[in-house]
Amino acid sequence: MFELEFLLAQSLFDLIAPLNVDSAKSVVIYRAVDIKKQLFSAVVIGKKPRKDNLGTSLKQTLADCFKSGEYCVYEQEGEPHATLYPLKNSTNQTMAIIAIEAQISDPQLHETITMLLQIHKNFAGLISDNEHDTLTGLLNRKTFDSKIDKVLVNMHKKNARKDDKSGQLHFLIIFDIDHFKKVNDEFGHLIGDEVLLQLSKLMTQTFRDKDLLFRYGGEEFVGLLECTNPADIVRILDRFRKKVENFEFPQVGKVTVSAGYTEISVNDVSSKLLDRADLALYFAKNNGRNRICHYEQLIAESTLQENKKKVMANDELAPVLWTTSLVAR
């Protein structure tokens, strides 16, 4: 979606470029890194009259604009004049601030800018609807293949750079709702959908906005985690498992999840990753449920058995497959 924002900012810069030829002009995309701490990232198109470190007054104005969702004018002695326009998504949430650092005195120009922002919002909404699941709001299966391929390509690129010392580990995890068929049989599919919705909310609450979470199809969800050491992945996954275990699902009460995960290597393909994580998941289901199993560890301990058929006979599975991009916390 950022590519779309960049194209909008470039179009706005082309619009204001002919104005006051002798004055410095730019269009800046501000994103909130931490709104409470007033930390913002910035991408600048055009001349860069403003110093790198944002002043206190501008930070406050940006924070106010994010909160109000209304455009405003920034005027401070010794600093460039700027008009701040909130950039909103299809649900009317402010995702970024477009700051046009130029004098905009022509009402018609302001109307043109507002119209371009509305066109961006409408187009972004179409893209979002095409990429997201209607029930959970998570990314859908159509986007999974391209996203996981991008993760693998980025791993190849980092591996090719000899000076890359990031040391990040990547894992694919499959979560499965324990006894989900029983939920549908006893409470109906409407309540079953509510369980899926609440589970997706727990996911989004537990992980960061930049993490990728997919509804893969039916009861399946897919994701990817990135962390710095194997101990972090255990802690992160167990935190989510406990959050689900302690949550009171409406009408149903307690629900638990099992998980199987595998480490991603540079030469992996998505189908093999899903197969390995799936085997670890089935082991977890056959050995008590409400637990997390690591494929590579099970192989090293010679405890993994391919017992999928046995589990399928006893427990209709509702896998939650998911990918995210997560730095260990």
Give the end-to-end CA distance of the chain in Å, rounded to a whole number: 26
Q: Is 89 helix (H, G, I), strand (E, B) or coil?
A: coil
Judge residue 221's burial from the number of C-beta atoms within 10 Å of its C-beta, 0-12 exposed, 13-18 middle, 19 or more buried. Answer: buried
H-run or E-run covering 225:
strand 220-227
Q: Is 12 helix (H, G, I), strand (E, B) or coil?
A: helix
Which alpha helices (H) appear in the chain, and where do they start and end? 2-16, 56-68, 107-131, 141-160, 180-187, 189-206, 230-246, 270-286, 295-300, 308-314
Does the active-site annotation cover 301?
no
**Tokens in use for 219?**
């009861």
Q: Is 15 helix (H, G, I), strand (E, B) or coil?
A: helix
Judge residue 243's burial from the number of C-beta atoms within 10 Å of its C-beta, 0-12 exposed, 13-18 middle, 19 or more buried. Answer: middle
H-run or E-run covering 322:
strand 318-322
171, 262 in Cβ contact below 8 A?
yes
Closest by CA to 259, choosing from 283, 275, 235, is 283
63, 79 in Cβ contact below 8 A?
no
Instruction: Given the residues 219, 220, 226, 263, select the one marked as catalytic.
Output: 219
Give the whole-angstrom CA distance, residue 232 versus residue 26.
42
Instruction: Please compute Rg for the chain using Cα positions.
Output: 24
Which amino acids are annotated catalytic? 219
